[in-house]
Structure 1
Amino acid sequence: MNRRLAEGPLCLRCYRHELDVQVTCIRCGRRSWADSRTPQGPLCGSCSPRRLVRCARCRNVRPVFRVDLPDSPICKHCYGALCRSVHPCPSCEQPTVVIFPDPRAPGRRVCARCAGRRSPFACRRCGSEEHHYGRHCAACVLAERATMLLTAPDGEVHPRLRPALDALLATERPKSTIYWMQISKAAVLLGDMAAGRVAISHECLDALPRTGWVDFLRDFLVVVGVLPERQLHLARLAPWLDGLLADRPAEQARIVRTYATWQVLRRLHASSATAPVSYARAHRARSCISRAAALLAWLEQRGQDLPTLRQADLDQWLCEVPGGRNYIAPFLTWARSRRLTGDVTVHRPPESEPTAGMDHDDRWALVNELLHTQYAAIELRVAGLFVLLFAQPLSRISTLTVGDVHLGDRRVEVRFSTDMIVLPDPLADLVRDLVGRRGHSSYPDQQRTWLFPGGAPGRPLTDLALGRRLRDLGMPRIRSARNSALMHLAAQLPSPILASLSRRSCSHSTRIGYLFDPGKVTSRYSPDRQQAGTGGRSNWPSGACCWRGGASREWCTAQIERTRTERCCWPAGGLHQPPYGRTAPDPAQPCTSWRNEPPTPSRPRAPARISAASSALVRETPRRQAIRAASREPRGMMGVC
């Protein structure tokens, strides 16, 4: 339908925007095209009453939106659902909206092209029916707006921001990116970088107030390669230290800065070469520095200084400042080594025995719920099962990478510390589905590095966010659940394996296992396993046998847990237990099998692997049977599947 003006014909859409045909709406007061006229005056399109009909799809009485589609009339909500329901067409197998009847096959629905009709869902530019966004698709709209945003004053895309443009266009959710460009201040700052008004550097972002959108933009530019990788938590410590010491006296600031620079930050910089500095480590560093500054300020209020600090003064400060015992001890050790203070010591309270805060029945019920429920997110189910079954802390779970998971043909293995753990089948299926899933970010890491990707580009889900979501899921006592799982594992695993799994000391793991079975002494379990991959020192020579009789090391290792009596001498003077059927050598005579005799050849052995149902590694004793029966605890972890 056309309208004619003096300049030529116009379509109805353009004719409605002419000023001489617009009127003032009597209800809202805006000037627009008169959609309807009443005896009181004209009404615009927003204020005009809509004709209410019953929608053919949802059967609700709503204003009609489209009448030219099959199963018309339909409302606006159903039309939006149709635009999002893109499926492969049965005839052409292209992703389209399949709602039109097929003239060649009655009863079958195909796309508009196969039905011989013009598609109302196709983009006017590329013809795609995916990501419907008005008259165009969201991908075409995003390409136009992102190119305009990152265009330099010379009319071309900024060369340094070309990777950012490619990442914006390659997103899987273009509508979310369009919405982000409309409301986020990060998009405005990105446009200023392209226009040359702001430098593209970390220093420019550091000068801005620390907000969520600044951190998001920094992570995005680092992931796409515009900015170099940087230890963010480590880099934030220096500005934080300057702000902490800004209003301190000169002498206090000098001592605290020296301690922070040459003790705390130096160790963090040295360890950052092998592993990134996590939020927890940076938080502990800030706590140690702030506690040192608080102690010096407290001494100044009392008219004292660090050289006059006595043990009674330190004990009084520890009583007044709760939680400062673990953070002030490194500072006092450093001060004593520099002769800045006297012989003062932070006395630690005796370590209490571990207790299971969660009942075993409640823990296994929660395990079954996480294994078989469908309403919870898969990353929460896997993280909760890692806590309940393997006693892993959330700080370690959140930093697991895809490289820590091995997907085999018949089993799935995960590495929490140094050994690969075989997962039971229901949990293995969940981990298979979790590997490769994208996170909540619209611009995920293309390498799929993290097993639990977070909302920030290229960063994992933090342990704080993971704990909060698990508590909302119905797991309020995470520490209690972990302690209960640790007690269960201590009843089944040898102490060195438990120490490696939980990253605790072997003595602590032995003490936990002693609570369940005082007769189980497993602290000397398999010294060859330490040499194979635990990182600990071993006196076992490479390729040598342990026994003078010529038995191989593999055979000796397999028999260690079956012996309870007799001793034999091993290379560095340690004590070992001989297997059954062998005679222990005379301890007075040195063991020379590995020195004077040729080493016994042994087969190459794969790294030690621990099964989730690892109760077979430890011989069942009547005492352990009584403990398990009293706690009504199922044998192994496979009993819950």
Structure 2
Amino acid sequence: MREHPDACFQCEQRRPLIGVTGAGNGICGPCAGVDLTYACQRCGTSEEIFREQMCTRCFATKRLAEALGGEDATIPAHREDFHSALSAAGRPRRVAYWLTCDRVPALLKYIGASKEEFTHRHLDDLPNTPTTRYIRDVLVAAAVLQPRDDRLEALPRWADAFLAQAPLPHRKYLTPFAHWFLLHRIRRTHRHRPLRASTQHQMRSRLRRALELLDWLDRHGIPLGKLTQPELETWLEEGPEKRREVRIFITWARGRGLAGALEVPRAPVAAPSVFSTDEGQAEQLHRCLSDETMPLDVRTAGALTLLFGLQHTRLLELTLHDIIDNDTDVTLNLNGHRLPLPPEVAQLVRALRDQCQKRWQLDQTASTTPWLFPGQEPARFLGATYLYLKLRRHGIAPLASRNTARLALATDLPASVLADFTGTSISNATRWTGYAKRDWLDYIASRTQI
């Protein structure tokens, strides 16, 4: 089936059709053997005609002007930057599609007529789709909108929607817990660094566990202030391990006199149990370095994971600026620490850098950051879950490979160096050196004498 009903049934291109076959399918001039050249009636280019005898960019520019300027399509002076940014977008087809979405024409008409400053709130009222996110990124890159952390800004809206479904008596506890404690602490902690998906998930999980406990108390007729330690432990033991995440809610409630002297033990950190054999690790690394049928980003991410045990979240935050190449050696900048790369891995990183550089040149209208592992949306890097699944699809075991590489490094490096080397926390690095059964007191003593 053709993607568009008005496309030529032979070449499936959206061109002016000059004839219709007996089956009702249209055919374009070139496929019919007619030597005709079709050009955009607005700019004269011979690009693919989108609609109304215009190319995609001209169609989007015209529709934007009509929506913002009213009947005479005269762009208001205070909206010229808005119009210019979307007209120059590197992917005009997305802009053209966005113009056809529900509520967008009415929004543009309001924006054109209003004297108010255009803000993120106007886009927040639209469905959170990839196209809407692309439009937002274009406007941020053009300085029409101020940069913001979308994950962080999405949390209050999610919390409000979640709390709206909770019973009214529970909201008197959950609303201040969510907005005045959890969100306040997250904003303070991530004032100068973007919120990671894991932190976003953790906040949502903690709020869900708090509601689960309140629902259980309601069913058993127990007020929160009368909850005893044995009753709390009963609830914890009846459910999965993740119920221990209610600990922060109990601590918050106890500190405000809403609950008694209750304690929730911390969940124990499980020791790593999934590893690769030396032969398996070597075989996977060989494939990453030599198998050209594998995608370049899979080969590069796989090699860095197999050799250095880097976390995927750290890998995905790398930009083209983090690659230091002096034409002889290549090093990666990890939190200010330089990681030298072996020649074959350096070759992979160079190739991926060049590939992403070309792509970023086309996407600069929507992105101010040249990611080394870009996602489908130019301003955002590849999702960690997507990369994990992509590696597994090509025979790379991400978790086992990372654990094996990190354990090998922990046998030769102290915790402080391992933390800097891999971009992990010092507490996590300390656990790994403990797993490796090494004593680094002599190393610490030697460092104090330097």
TM-score, L = length of structure 1: 0.57
User: Residues 408-467 of structure 1: CA distance to partner in whole angstroms, max 9, x if unpaired?
Assistant: 232121123341101111221222233324269966545443222222242222212222
Task: Tell me if the contact between 1:414 and 1:422 (Cα under 8 Å) persists in the aligned partners.
Answer: yes
Task: For residues 273-302 of structure 1, give each alpha carbon's deviation from its aligned partner in whole angstroms, at most 9, with x where no partner exists.
Answer: 210222221221111112112211211111
Structure 2 gap segments, 5+ residues each? 1-16
Q: What is aligned with 2:226?
A: 308
2:86·2:95 contact (CA, 8 Å) conserved in 1?
Answer: no
For the 8 Å contact 2:130–2:377, the answer to whether it is kept is no
The SS at the match of 1:524 is helix
Determine which structure has more spread, i.e. the larger CA radius of gyration: 1
CA deviation after TM superposition for structure 1 residue 328, in Å = 1.2
Q: Which of these residues, 58, 61, 64, is aligned with residue 150 of structure 1?
A: 64
1:512-566 Cα deviation digits (max 9, x unpaired): 3455464654662765xxxxxxxxxxxx7xxxxx5xxxxxxxxx3xxxxxxxxxx
**Preserved CA contact (<8 Å) 2:311 2:423:** no
- Written as runs of structure 1 = structure 2, the 5 A alignment for 1:267-346 is 267-346=185-264
User: What's 2:402 paired with?
Assistant: 482
Residue correspondence of structure 1 range 24-39 to structure 2 within 5 A: none
Aligned to 2:383: 462
Structure 2 residue aligned with 1:414, among 332, 337, 354? 332
Say yes or no: does 1:133 pair with 2:48: yes
Report SS of the residue matched to 2:339: strand
Match of 2:411 in 1: 491
Match of 1:423 in 2: 341
Q: How does 1:190-589 map to 2 (within 5 A)?
A: 191-196=105-110, 200-348=118-266, 350-435=268-353, 436-438=357-359, 445=366, 447-475=368-396, 477-504=397-424, 506=426, 509-510=429-430, 512-513=432-433, 515-516=435-436, 518=438, 521=441, 524=444, 546=449, 556=450
Query: 1: distance between equivalents of 2:308 and 2:241?
Result: 29
Does the 8 Å CA contact 1:264/1:285 hold for their aligned counterparts?
A: yes
Residue number in structure 1 paired with 2:14: none
**Contact (CA 8 Å) 2:89, 2:95: kept in 1 or not?**
no
Change (3 A) 1:171 1:183: closer
The share of aligned pairs that are identical, in percent, is 28
Tell me which amino acid in the other structure corresponds to 1:133. E
- Residue 266 of structure 1: how far off its partner (Å): 0.9
SS of alignment partner, residue 150 of structure 1: helix
- Alignment CA distance shift 1:222-1:141 (3 Å): same
CA contact (8 A) 1:494 1:525 kept: no
CA distance in 2, matches of 1:367, 1:316: 48
Q: Name the residue aligned to 1:47.
A: 22
Q: CA deviation at 1:314?
A: 1.8
Distance in 2 between residues matched to 1:496 and 1:514, nearest whole Å: 13
> Equivalents in 1 of 2:164, 2:50: separation in Å?
57
TM-superposed deviation, 1:189? 5.4
Aligned 1:557-636 pairs, distance under 5 A: none
Cα distance, 1:123 vs. partner?
7.9
Q: Matched residue of 1:421: which SS?
A: strand
**Residues 307 and 342 in structure 1, CA contact (< 8 A), matched pair in contact too:** yes
Contact 1:495 1:523 in 2 (8 A): no
Distance 1:421 1:411 in 2: 11
Q: What is the one-letter code of the residue matched to 2:416? A: P
How far apart in 2 are the matches of 1:525 and 1:378?
Answer: 44
The answer to whether the 8 Å contact 1:307/1:341 transfers is: yes
Aligned-pair distance for 1:318?
Answer: 1.8
**How far, CA to CA, are the matches of 1:284 and 1:135 in structure 2?**
45
* Number of matched pairs: 418
SS in 2 for 1:413: strand
**CA spacing shift, 1:526–1:168, aligned 2, 3 Å:** farther
**Structure 1 position 317, deviation (Å):** 1.7
Separation of aligned partners in 2, 1:444 and 1:387:
32
- AA aligned to 1:196 is Y
TM-superposed deviation, 1:164: 5.3
Residue 406 of structure 2 aligns with an amino acid whose one-letter code is: L
Structure number with higher relative contact order (C-alpha < 8 Å, ≥ 6 residues apart) = 2
* Residue identity opposite 1:261 in structure 2: H
**Distance 1:507-1:125 versus aligned 2 partners, 3 A rule:** closer
What amino acid maps onto 1:289 in structure 2?
L
CA distance in 1 between partners of 2:128 and 2:229 (Å):
41
